[in-house]
Structure 1
Amino acid sequence: MIICILFIVIGAVVLAFALVAFRHATTFVKKGRCVEGAVIKFVETKDEDGVYYYPLFEITISEKETITYRGMNGATYKSWKIGQKAAFIYVPGEVPHIRRLRYWSIFGFPLVLLAIAADFIVVGFGYFLLKAYF
């Protein structure tokens, strides 16, 4: 009986964190402004596994302000081309907090938390409903 309550409580707590993270993501998208950035060069980093290439984007925020953004995903080959463009989103006034405009980069963390919470809740209620068999 304790194990089912424990699973349900853990699932509820993780679900609460997932909902808060989802709310932050939707607020970010609602308040955000879309801009376009272009690859200007590649940043090479060496590791024991080899050389990784990270794209460096130049993003024009306004007529007077441009920023550079290093891509978060590196590859062993240059997966981008110089001059290739990508969409970004940021909240005006919070320029350091900029993200690529992709579904997974914005809503990925809340979705992972939601999946973990659903697993805990389903297992907890499964134990609770089928406790006569255990």
Structure 2
Amino acid sequence: MEQEIEIRNSKEALSRVKKNGTEVQYFLYPEFEVHTNKIPPGSIQDWHCHQQVEEVIVVTSGKISIETIENATLERAEVKQGDVLRVKNSIHRLVNRNRTSASFIVFRFVPQGVSQADIIKNDKCDCEEFVKKILGD
């Protein structure tokens, strides 16, 4: 029977240190991927893009720059703790120009081109009464 809640810790992650010094812990699932990253000061990722994968990046500490090539022009945005980036198929890289490390979480998935907004907004079910009956509260 499949577990309803799956907890995975860092020991179970596929851990790598990239050539730029970024420490990555990959958590792989059949329909998506999550990885945590710690990018050291002065580190620059290689330029890259994705053909089908979309990334959502949440900065969890520090500050980084996202650089993109848009219409043959370099675009740069500074992002900080709490900011969320949605990266589609642009040519991009992340840069840490600061004196301290920065951390971020990347959620990677292959979008299906169909809006799931209604499901996402309305999927929560209230289970308070059910749980009270079970637990006798």
TM range (shorter): under 0.3
* Greater RCO (CA < 8 Å, at least 6 residues apart): 1
Higher strand share goes to which structure?
2
Q: In terms of Rg, which structure is larger?
A: 1
Q: TM-score, normalised by structure 2?
A: 0.22
Higher helix share goes to which structure?
1
